[in-house]
Structure 1
Amino acid sequence: MKTSTSLTQLALQKFKRNFWGVFSFLFLMVCVFIAIFAYALAPDNSQNANQMHLSVHSKEPGFTVTMLTVPSEVTEQHAVAVFFFGKKNADTEVPIANYTIKDTVLQATLYTGDGSKGLQKEYPLTLFPEAKTVAAIPQKYISEKTFLLGTDKYGRDLLSRMLIGIRISLGIGFVAVFISLVIGIAMGAMAGYFGGKVDAAIMWVINVTWSIPTLLLVIAITLALGKGFWQVFIAVGLTMWVEVARVVRGQVMGVKQMQYVTAARALGYKDFRIITKHILPNAMAPVIIISAANFASAILIESGLSFLGIGAQPPMPSWGGIIKDHYAYIVLGKPWLAIIPGLAIMSLVTAFMLIGNALRDALDVKT
């Protein structure tokens, strides 16, 4: 049997033997799949899953109601745009208790939810162009709709909001970690390699940034850049580079003493090539581990910002924003409205932390 001597192969083999690491990785792959195909999987494929049904607000998981679908005006929208961003003009859904068809109108009794008789509303049959006969209208435009996770306080489908909200959590992780790696590796490599005044100046910036509470710094940057989707991503990334820089600096200071680095200098290679080709590839193992932890931190920070109202802005769904809208419902007998997004955040953060632990064990040369 052939035994691999590649450090990468050995680390991969050790990672595969870690059950929780592999399980968490597969869980994250499922989450990424859901994020990509969110609008295809969501029952409500309107933009931001913002289809409101105020008469069925705050309903429990599994709630079912008869729904009348009223087609909207046809607007040109590319299929790719619908796939990634949802329908701009989605069909209007109206919860009804019952209906009758009389002459040229469909008369529906609106759903109330409290047992009282709802308002009567008439819809001209011309609103349903795809039904070739009157008998085909109920088959095509009236159906039983089940809200698997219930509805929020505005009557929106909670499952759809959760599926689309995962994009925010994963997106903030990827973008924030990318920004932190670019800045942290560059600053740390320069400080560790050049030393002297360069090291002193960079360490001063690192220590000043480190001394400011993370959430406070993120809030300050967010307020300076303005509220919004990308502003939060950038703000979180600009606060997470410090730990990366400190670790890279320490690794570079150790690796630059190696003989192969001395040989590279003797051969006349430029500093940039020595850092990028010889030092950084041998100093990245701890950075990979920190990146997994930073993913988890970014998700928690974004959730906190959304809870405070300065993260992703309504109607864009965010797990932290969903908790903000419904935390009071915990004492009102409808705790699932806040518990479901809370469990989702906990699951995603735990998965990243378990992957970080598995990577630490796999990349530990002592084992």
Structure 2
Amino acid sequence: MSHKSNSLRGLALQKFKKNFWGVFSFCFIIFVGFIAVFAYIFAPDNTQHANQMHLAIHSKKPGFSIDMLTIPSDRKEEQGGLDAILFGKKNTNTEVPISDFSVEDGVLIYQEYAADGIEGAEKTIELSIFPNQSVEGFIVERTFLFGTDKYGRDLLSRVLVGARISFFIGFVAVFISLLIGLLMGSAAGYFGGKVDAVIMWVINVTWSIPTLLLVIAITLALGKGFWQVFIAVGLTMWVEVARIVRGQIISTKEMQYVTAARALGYTDYRIIVKHILPNIMAPLIVISAANFAAAILIESGLSFLGIGAQPPMASWGAMIKDHYNYIILGKPYLAIIPGLCIMILVMAFMLIGNALRDALDVKN
């Protein structure tokens, strides 16, 4: 029996490897996950939430370059290296975009950057505030590969950091949906009778409520925030899992291996967990991939409506909300770039779901 199970898994793995788009999507998802975890290492703006604003250079096109003066601060924030890698650097320094500078008699004279050919204000600062009274290393040319948003923040950094929410909400939502869906579906399918009737009533009532309205209601009840959205999305996606588990258990609970387990005196819990669920995992894997994609879309919609991740937290949906009007103002990339990120990631999960469905289909 074990040999057969292993051979079936090996056969499914071989079929999956032959699916180019499935393998490509899997590699892409792993890549996005790596970027999401270590976003602050790759982001040009590694401050918390990539929220370094420079209003003087707002809405600049991709490839825009400017000299950036960093003015050291006397206030120091203690922060561990791991904390900075995972959650961003606590930056107390002041960054100023400048168009020109010179050093005279121990004083740095710089001209602030101003757009549209306007001359910026000329200011001075004592060199004594810089270590070794040298400005070397404190004035660097910075290039914004994706341009800047309407607040002058680096768009590339916001996109990289924003991948965290879109990626991890899928994991949390799928975990919650599996936890509740497996419990409810297993009880309904295995015990039947009044238990099945009550659970199916709850499923049908939940199913009848539009998903977005239910998410909004739960979000408003729990409050606006990062984790509240994760929980809200997960609590609305368990219905499909429960229906699939219920149907699969109804069709398998009368099979010979289940009857044999009952004859041996095994508990209902052991029969469900050890014998039935391992044999119905194929459709659950496929629906989990689809739910992952759906969770990303729902979170993006909530952020677009303003009840998802709250500022200054980076979110692809919130980035579209902030810049959708720029589509008709000649700078559509501000909304198109995060929109493409959502589309590509969702497509990757749908493709891997299709590949898993084909690989796990025993009829082919």
Same fold per superposition (TM over 0.5): yes
Q: 2:252 aligns with which of 252, 255, 262?
A: 255
CA distance in 2, matches of 1:181, 1:7: 24
Separation of aligned partners in 2, 1:4 and 1:269: 22
Q: TM-score, normalised by structure 1?
A: 0.96
Rounded Cα–Cα distance in structure 2 between residues aligned with 1:279 and 1:198: 18
- The equivalent position to 2:361 in structure 1, one of 351, 354, 364, is 364
Aligned to 2:45, the other structure's residue is in SS state: coil
Match of 2:189 in 1: 192
SS in 1 for 2:355: helix
The 5 A counterparts of 1:199-348 are 199-348=196-345
Structure 2 gap ranges (5+): none
Query: Which SS does the other structure have where 1:348 is aligned?
Result: helix
Task: Note if contact 2:77-2:92 (Cα within 8 Å) is conserved in structure 1.
Answer: no
Percent identity of equivalent pairs: 72
The Cα offsets for residues 13-66 of structure 1, whole Å up to 9 and x where unpaired, read as 000000000000000011011011100100001100000010000000000011
Whether the 8 Å contact between 2:40 and 2:86 is mirrored in structure 1 is yes
CA distance in structure 1 between the aligned counterparts of 2:187 and 2:6, rounded to whole angstroms: 32
Shift of the 240–5 alpha-carbon distance from structure 1 to 2, 3 Å rule, reads closer
RMSD between aligned residues: 1.2
AA in 2 matched with 1:298: A
TM-score of the superposed pair, with normalisation by structure 2? 0.97
Distance (Å, rounded) in 2 between the aligned partners of 1:12 and 1:38: 31
Note the residue ranges of structure 1 that are not aligned, 5 or more in a row: none
Contact residue 46 and residue 90 of structure 1 kept, 8 A: no
Which aligned runs of 4 or more in structure 1 are off by greater than 3 angstroms?
none
SS in 1 for 2:137: helix
Deviation digits for residues 243-295 of structure 1, max 9, x if unmatched?
A: 00000000011111110100100110000000000000001110100000000
Residue aligned with 1:149, SS: coil
The reply to whether residue 155 of structure 1 matches residue 157 of structure 2 is: no
Partner of 1:124: 126
| 1:341 Cα deviation after fit | 0.2
Work out the number of aligned pairs and report it: 360
Letter of the 2:336 counterpart: I
Question: Which residue number in structure 2 is paired with residue 35 of structure 1?
Answer: 36
Q: Which amino acid aligns with 2:292?
A: F
Pair 1:74-2:71 in alignment: no
* Cα separation, 2, equivalents of 1:179 and 1:360: 22
My pick for the range that moved more, 287-296 or 82-91, is: 82-91
Q: Distance in 2 between matches of 1:4 and 1:223?
A: 46
- The superposition leaves residues 2-22 of structure 1 with CA deviations (integer Å, 9 ceiling, x where unpaired) of x99611111110000000000
* Alpha-carbon distance change, 90 to 40 in structure 1, aligned in 2, over 3 angstroms: farther
Supply the distance in 1 between the matched residues of 2:219 and 2:292 (Cα, whole angstroms): 19
Counterparts of 1:98 and 1:230, CA distance in 2: 45
